[in-house]
């Protein structure tokens, strides 16, 4: 019986790992009565182990060792179970004596022949997957490991799902030998001792298919039930996210809660059932896990209604903007009033005095404020979309009691329809003027000049939706002392290990282009080898300098790992201490408008624990386009990716 989460309906597979099972159907029924829905079982009984002398291969290199000749059946008949039962109820285990990594040519050849036989039979049965033991002893390195990897690669080529039980370094070699095959997974065996949190994060980023949990990894609580330590619980909760098959192994101890394995199964099911349902952000992100998307180009393309709708669902972004606008209004008002005071009166009004003064039409010092109407603060929303930042501005004006005139500039003619309708229908919009057109040439369409400019032209990497070029181009719309919201933004980079994402990129087509493109992706199966570091910073209003940039970034790897590229994020200062961030270390909780960006590298590189990862990233501008180029510098030098923007660039011309 599959365990089902009481509120989400998500399912969890829990099974029993058995070393031998004379009666298959009874074993399956016993597993079911313990609350399990599968059995991890050897497909061939140990007494059918084929003696080495029967099957010597003539030489190590022999491509096709002779088939095993036998008259007795290899194993029990497939008719003992229905094919549906084989498929849903059994995960196979390759015979433990098989050692394709052996240094003995005779053992190796016999093992290979037996391995092929068992893989063929597993394929015939249609079992969910086949678990293969890790090579032991000398087999974990050199020719033995290579041979083991080759045998697994051939099993994968036959269409089998294979899970290999490994130490990480061996797993990584085998995964590489198998060309990062999608059907190759990991069987992770837990023990009572757990590795460091960093090592666990590295495992969690791998393709974990099976988690083997010995009963010895449990402890007995004060009232006699088997439970897991807090660290084990944390790990199991992390693993729940990836829905592996949990297989309980070993002997049940004398514990409360029922016979045999039932108490162990029940505890695992209880932990799963206690998992909180996904938050709004998690529910939104779920379908996008590890799904590569082309970054939006709101300047070159016109966004669709559904895209705006998704932005507008963010519960955090507009709140932060509203607070930033509110603080900027108070600041602007207090500055204006302070500059109106005679020079010998020191210390300007407080923000509260400024707000009261603006509402009453008097200056905060009690002097006649008749000029206040003429000096109504002009807030320009550049790239207004369907108007959420206009609304945030109007809310900020209302809550601060500081009147504003709003000018909403938008170049997407379809979003202009929404803005003009809002201006007609909503009385709160009586102070809003809608200007249709590119902000870089809108100064001829309006005489208004902004005291405060509000924009959200930010991509996952900060500047990658061309906010710097758009805002610089809009300089003629701004007063010299304009306040820009955002005031600045900085991109961040971290070395990323994600075999999954690298495989996804490779699946996009041949040639360099897929590896010379950046992707927006909610990274699920991936881990950063070190915390992110700052990359490119832009400040607004700018000094008019170049928007080209170069960064050389370096990190020390927390664990030995393979680097498959770089994850990019941004932090933005909206106003004062109000900001937004998608950087993992400082992320704005609950904000889901942006996923990270992924810059892949063509050839993944192994970095040792404590070793340095170093890379260069350039932001280039020219010929009506902006693009990034990037290259690894350590632990190995790579070719520069995307030279001259040949594979991926961002257009500066409006669509």
Ligand X SMILES: C[S@@+](CC[C@H](N)C(=O)[O-])C[C@H]1O[C@@H](n2cnc3c(N)ncnc32)[C@H](O)[C@@H]1O
Residue 16, CA distances (Å) to 92, 241, 244, 245, 480 in order? 12, 21, 14, 10, 72
Q: Which of 109, 378, 384, 402 binds ligand X (CB under 6 A)?
A: 384
Residues 248-307 that bind ligand X (CB under 6 A): 298-299, 303
State yes or no: residue 450 binds ligand X (CB under 6 A): no
**3-state SS track over 443-455:** HHCCCCCEEEEEE
| Nearer residue to ligand X within complex by CB, 364 or 457 | 457
Stretch that binds ligand X, among 47-55, 128-136, 385-393, 396-404 (CB under 6 A): 385-393
User: Rounded to an integer, what distance in angstroms lies between the CA atom of residue 38 and that of residue 32?
Assistant: 8
State yes or no: residue 521 binds ligand X (CB under 6 A): no
Q: Phi, psi (5° rounding) for residue 610?
A: 85, -5
Q: Which of 37, 201, 410, 451 binds ligand X (CB under 6 A)?
A: 410
Query: Least distance in Å: CB of 300 to ligand X?
Result: 9
| Nearer residue to ligand X within complex by CB, 92 or 295 | 295
State yes or no: residue 389 binds ligand X (CB under 6 A): yes
User: Rounded to an integer, what distance in angstroms lies between the CA atom of residue 326 and that of residue 485?
Assistant: 11
Q: Which of 240, 311, 461, 538 binds ligand X (CB under 6 A)?
A: 311
State yes or no: residue 415 binds ligand X (CB under 6 A): yes
> Are 501 and 292 within 8 A, CB to CB?
yes
State yes or no: residue 308 binds ligand X (CB under 6 A): yes
Query: Least distance in Å: CB of 588 to ligand X?
Result: 15
Q: Which of 93, 209, 440, 564 binds ligand X (CB under 6 A)?
A: 440
> Are 385 and 414 within 8 A, CB to CB?
no
| Bridge partners of residue 495, in order along the sequence | 566
Stretch that binds ligand X, among 64-72, 378-386, 475-483, 516-524 (CB under 6 A): 378-386
- Alpha helix ranges (H) inside 49-138: 83-89, 105-125
Q: Which of 470, 483, 496, 529 binds ligand X (CB under 6 A)?
A: 470
State yes or no: residue 438 binds ligand X (CB under 6 A): yes
User: Rounded to an integer, what distance in angstroms lies between the CA atom of residue 37 and that of residue 510?
Assistant: 41
Residue 281, CA distances (Å) to 174, 285, 570, 589 in order? 36, 6, 18, 9
The owner of tokens 């897991």 is 228
Q: Which of 323, 456, 472, 504 binds ligand X (CB under 6 A)?
A: 456
Cα pseudo-dihedral 47, 53, 59, 65, rounded to 10: -50
Q: Which of 351, 383, 579, 600 binds ligand X (CB under 6 A)?
A: 383
DSSP state at residue 318 = H
Residue 310, CA distances (Å) to 303, 306, 481, 545, 584 in order? 11, 6, 34, 34, 22
Query: Least distance in Å: CB of 645 to ligand X?
Result: 19
Query: Least distance in Å: CB of 551 to ligand X?
Result: 24
| Nearer residue to ligand X within complex by CB, 174 or 299 | 299
Query: Least distance in Å: CB of 331 to ligand X?
Result: 22
State yes or no: residue 395 binds ligand X (CB under 6 A): no
Structure tokens at 84: 């549906």
Query: Least distance in Å: CB of 470 to ligand X?
Result: 4
User: Rounded to an integer, what distance in angstroms lies between the CA atom of residue 594 and that of residue 611?
Assistant: 31
User: Rounded to an integer, what distance in angstroms lies between the CA atom of residue 318 and that of residue 134?
Assistant: 52
| Bridge partners of residue 556, in order along the sequence | 612
Structure tokens at 192: 């009572």
Among the listed residues 112, 206, 410, 456, the single catalytic one is 456
Indicate if 112 belongs to the active site.
Answer: no
State yes or no: residue 547 binds ligand X (CB under 6 A): no
Among the listed residues 465, 504, 559, 571, the single catalytic one is 465
Stretch that binds ligand X, among 244-252, 327-335, 436-444, 576-584 (CB under 6 A): 436-444
Residues 570-589 that bind ligand X (CB under 6 A): none
State yes or no: residue 385 binds ligand X (CB under 6 A): yes
Indicate if 456 belongs to the active site.
Answer: yes
**Residues labelled catalytic:** 456, 465
Residues binding ligand X (CB under 6 A):
298-299, 303, 308, 311-312, 383-385, 388-389, 409-412, 415, 438-440, 456-457, 470
């Amino acid at each position: 019986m599959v365990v089902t989460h009481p509120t989400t309906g998500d399912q969890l597979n829990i099974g029993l790992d058995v070393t031998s099972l004379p009666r298959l159907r009874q074993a399956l029924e016993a597993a079911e009565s313990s609350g399990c829905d599968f059995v991890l079982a050897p497909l061939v009984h140990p007494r059918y182990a084929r003696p080495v002398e029967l099957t010597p291969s003539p030489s190590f290199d022999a491509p096709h060792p002779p088939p095993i000749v036998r008259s007795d059946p290899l194993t029990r008949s497939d008719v003992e179970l229905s094919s549906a039962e084989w498929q849903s109820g059994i995960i196979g285990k390759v015979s433990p004596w098989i050692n394709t990594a052996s240094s003995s040519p005779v053992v190796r050849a016999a093992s290979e022949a037996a391995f092929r036989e068992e893989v063929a039979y597993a394929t015939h049965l249609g079992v969910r997957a086949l678990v293969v033991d890790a090579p032991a002893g000398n087999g974990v390195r050199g020719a033995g490991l290579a041979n083991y990897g080759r045998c697994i690669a051939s099993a994968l080529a036959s269409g089998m799902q294979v899970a290999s039980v490994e130490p990480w370094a061996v797993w990584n070699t085998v995964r590489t030998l198998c060309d990062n095959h999608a059907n190759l997974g990991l069987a992770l065996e837990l023990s009572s001792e757990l590795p460091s949190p960093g090592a666990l994060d590295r495992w969690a980023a791998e393709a974990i298919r099976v988690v083997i949990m010995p009963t010895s990894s449990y402890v007995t609580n004060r009232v006699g039930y088997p439970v897991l330590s807090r660290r084990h619980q944390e790990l199991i909760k992390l693993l729940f996210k990836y829905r592996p098959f949990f297989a309980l192994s070993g002997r049940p101890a004398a514990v409360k809660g029922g016979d045999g394995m039932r108490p162990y199964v029940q505890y695992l099911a209880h932990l799963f059932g206690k998992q909180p349902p996904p938050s709004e952000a998690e529910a939104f992100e779920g379908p996008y896990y590890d799904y590569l998307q082309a970054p939006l180009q709101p300047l070159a393309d016109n966004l669709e209604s559904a895209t705006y709708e998704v932005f507008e669902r963010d519960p955090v972004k507009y709140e932060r903007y509203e607070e930033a606008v509110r603080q900027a209004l108070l600041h602007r008002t207090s500055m204006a009033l302070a500059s109106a005071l005679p020079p010998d009166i020191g210390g300007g009004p407080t923000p509260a005095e400024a707000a009261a003064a603006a509402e009453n039409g008097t200056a905060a010092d009690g002097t006649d404020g008749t000029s206040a109407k003429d000096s109504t603060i002009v807030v320009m929303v550049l790239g207004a979309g369907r108007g959420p930042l206009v609304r945030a501005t109007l809310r900020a004006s209302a809550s601060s009691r500081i009147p504003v005139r709003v000018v909403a500039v938008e170049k997407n003619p379809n979003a202009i329809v929404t803005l003009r309708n809002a201006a007609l229908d909503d009385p709160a919009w009586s102070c809003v003027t809608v200007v249709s057109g590119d902000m870089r040439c809108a100064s001829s369409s309006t005489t208004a000049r902004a005291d405060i400019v509000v924009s959200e032209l930010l991509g996952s990497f900060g500047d990658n939706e061309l906010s710097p070029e758009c805002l610089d181009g809009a300089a003629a719309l701004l007063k010299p002392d304009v306040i820009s919201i955002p005031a600045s933004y900085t991109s961040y980079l971290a070395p990323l290990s994600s075999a999954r994402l690298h495989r996804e990129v490779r699946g996009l087509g041949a040639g360099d282009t897929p590896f010379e493109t950046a992707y927006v992706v909610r990274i699920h199966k991936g881990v950063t080898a070190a915390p992110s570091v700052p990359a490119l910073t832009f400040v607004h209003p700018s000094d008019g300098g170049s928007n080209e940039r170069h960064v050389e970034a370096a990190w020390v790897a927390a664990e030995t790992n393979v680097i498959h590229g770089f994850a990019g994020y941004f932090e933005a200062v909206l106003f004062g201490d109000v900001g937004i961030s998608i950087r993992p270390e400082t992320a704005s909780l609950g904000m889901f408008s942006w996923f990270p960006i992924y810059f892949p590298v063509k050839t993944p590189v192994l970095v040792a624990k404590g070793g340095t990862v170093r890379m260069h990233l350039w932001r280039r501008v020219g010929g009506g386009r902006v693009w990034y180029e990037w290259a690894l510098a350590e632990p190995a030098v790579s070719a520069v990716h995307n030279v001259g923007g040949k594979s991926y660039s961002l257009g500066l011309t409006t669509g």
